[in-house]
């Protein structure tokens, strides 16, 4: 149950595309309530391998919780004594200063300090001495620290995304920073790759590959690069999803004729059939407490979202707005369900309040797929088309602030947001 643009047939027949370009972050929209923060250029960052202050600014703006006050051409380090009236005149409630220092052993020391402009006092600061290759990650961690100090919630800027690209005849599974940069290629194939899913510890990706001529579910160790087939039964093996404890996976198999849901241990044992219908049951995902599985079924005539006990049993329908609802994803707190709905001829991302049943359409594009929550539940990433390009898009849950992570010349699809713990 994939959208036409993302069909395997379209993937197989797509014309060759130019090489991948770097991501570019474009932020649009206005948040309901945002904290004004100023982040001037850091001292000596011009000679550093990463634009640290810009990375921090982009991270905070993309979260939807902050607005950026104009710092002009000011350079501010962590040892500066801010002139509070000047920053208040710029309408900044918070201020960040920092520096980059090249250490004798070749590492870079990123230092920052966070101030409360309204109260005129220091709030926090930190130092991150890292190898040059980890300087971008250090900037993400600095942004996480700032975000948490000012919001009381854990930041997600140092987490990772997994996604699929197709360039020419080449399919690739990538792992990248949460802003789309710093990517590394985990898997490549001349046959389609689909359905990446993170283990709860962030060490393993499950995915589906067609390199043997049929759909097979694999597990990939991201540190060692080792992979093994998890599900290679007769028929189609697809849509893997880890349980919250990481010990089992739910998946969709056609081994018995129809496409039904099964679960199995991550070592490949303990196969258990979960659904017993004549319908197509697919796209499972666990609730955060591991007690329920949400999935897509056409048992009512068209694809809709259902839930059932994690060990199988009676299922109840969850989605009722429209005749086509797919790709369920649960928020980390279990209160919200994101999915894709067909709205006329468009496919858009919705968010449902599971307690009250209210549904809000948060995307304004036409061809959205594969929503995935950030581990703090504050953002959703999905794939779509914007301005004639395939992009990854992040959005706040109310749809007010969006950021497109653009790839100029590649088909990008099926993002999955990784867990905390990097």
Q: State residue 25's pLDDT score.
A: 53
Compute the distance between CA of residue 56 and CA of residue 203 in angstroms, rounded to an integer: 26
Run of H or E residues at 57? helix 52-63
**How far apart are alpha carbons 162 and 396 in whole angstroms?**
19
d(CA 21, CA 5): 21
Closest CA to 99 of 48, 29, 167: 48
Q: What is the pLDDT of residue 6?
A: 43
Q: How many residues does the chain have?
A: 422
Taking the model in full, what pTM does it have? 0.92
pLDDT tens, 362-417? 999 999 999 999 999 999 999 998 777 788 999 999 999 999 886 657 789 999 99
User: What is the DSSP track for 337-405?
Assistant: EEEEEEETTEEEEEEEETTT--EEE---SSB-EEEEE-TTSSEEEEEEEETTEEEEEEEETTSSEEEEE
**Token pair belonging to 268:** 């490949």
Beta bridge partners of 412: 165
Is the confidence at residue 16, as pLDDT, over 60? no
**Dist. CA 267–CA 421, nearest whole Å:** 23
Q: Is 101 exposed, middle or buried (0-12, 13-18, 19+ CB in 10 A)?
A: middle
pLDDT digits (tens, 9 = 90+) for 339-363: 999 988 999 999 999 999 999 999 9
Give the H/E segment covering residue 8: helix 8-13
For residues 163 and 392, the answer to whether their CB atoms sit within 8 Å is: yes
CA distance 205 to 249: 12
In this prediction, residues 32-49 reach a mean pLDDT of 93
**pLDDT at res. 259:** 96
Catalogue all structural domains in the chain, each as residue range(s) with its CATH number.
4-26+160-417 (2.120.10.30), 33-151 (3.40.50.10070)
- The tens digit of pLDDT for each residue in 161-220 reads 999 999 888 999 999 999 999 999 999 999 999 999 999 999 999 999 999 999 999 999
344 Cβ contact partners less than 8 Å away, ≥ 6 residues apart: none
């Amino acid at each position: 149950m994939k959208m036409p643009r993302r069909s395997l047939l379209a993937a197989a027949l797509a014309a060759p595309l130019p090489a991948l370009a770097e991501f570019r972050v474009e932020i649009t929209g206005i948040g309901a309530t945002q904290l004004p923060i100023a982040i001037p250029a850091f001292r000596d960052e011009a000679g550093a391998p990463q634009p640290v202050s810009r990375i921090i600014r982009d991270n905070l703006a993309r979260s939807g919780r902050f607005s950026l006050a104009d710092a002009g051409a000011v350079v501010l380090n962590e040892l500066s004594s801010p002139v509070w009236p000047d920053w208040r005149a710029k309408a900044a409630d918070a201020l960040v200063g920092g520096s980059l220092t090249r250490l004798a052993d070749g590492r870079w020391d990123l230092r920052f300090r966070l101030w409360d402009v309204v109260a005129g006092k220091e709030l926090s600061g930190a130092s991150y001495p890292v190898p040059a290759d980890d300087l971008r990650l250090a900037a993400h961690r600095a942004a996480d620290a700032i975000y948490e100090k000012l919001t009381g919630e854990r930041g997600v800027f140092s987490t990772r995304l997994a996604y699929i690209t197709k360039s020419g005849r080449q399919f690739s599974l990538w792992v990248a920073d949460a802003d789309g940069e710093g990517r590394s290629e985990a898997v490549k194939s001349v046959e389609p790759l689909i359905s990446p899913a993170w283990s709860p510890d962030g060490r393993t990706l499950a995915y589906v590959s067609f390199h043997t001529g049929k759909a097979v579910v694999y597990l990939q160790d991201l540190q060692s690069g080792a992979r093994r087939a998890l599900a290679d039964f007769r028929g189609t093996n697809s849509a893997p999803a880890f349980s919250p404890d990481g010990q089992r996976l739910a998946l969709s198999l056609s081994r018995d004729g129809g496409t039904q849901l099964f679960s199995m241990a991550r070592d490949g044992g303990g196969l258990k059939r979960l659904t017993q219908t004549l319908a197509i049951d697919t796209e499972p995902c666990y609730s955060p407490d591991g007690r329920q599985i949400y999935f897509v079924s056409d048992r009512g005539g068209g694809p809709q979202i259902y839930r059932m006990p994690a060990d199988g049993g009676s299922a109840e329908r969850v989605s009722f707005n429209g005749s086509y609802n797919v790709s369920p994803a649960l928020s980390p707190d279990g209160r919200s369900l994101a999915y894709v709905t067909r709205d006329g001829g468009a496919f858009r991302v919705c968010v449902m309040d599971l307690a009250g049943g209210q549904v809000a359409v948060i995307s304004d594009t036409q061809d959205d797929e594969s929503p995935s929550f950030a581990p703090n539940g504050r953002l959703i990433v999905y794939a779509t088309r914007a301005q004639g390009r395939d992009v990854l898009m992040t959005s706040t849950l109310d749809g007010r602030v969006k950021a497109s992570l653009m790839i100029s010349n590649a088909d990008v699809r099926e993002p999955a947001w990784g867990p905390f713990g990097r």
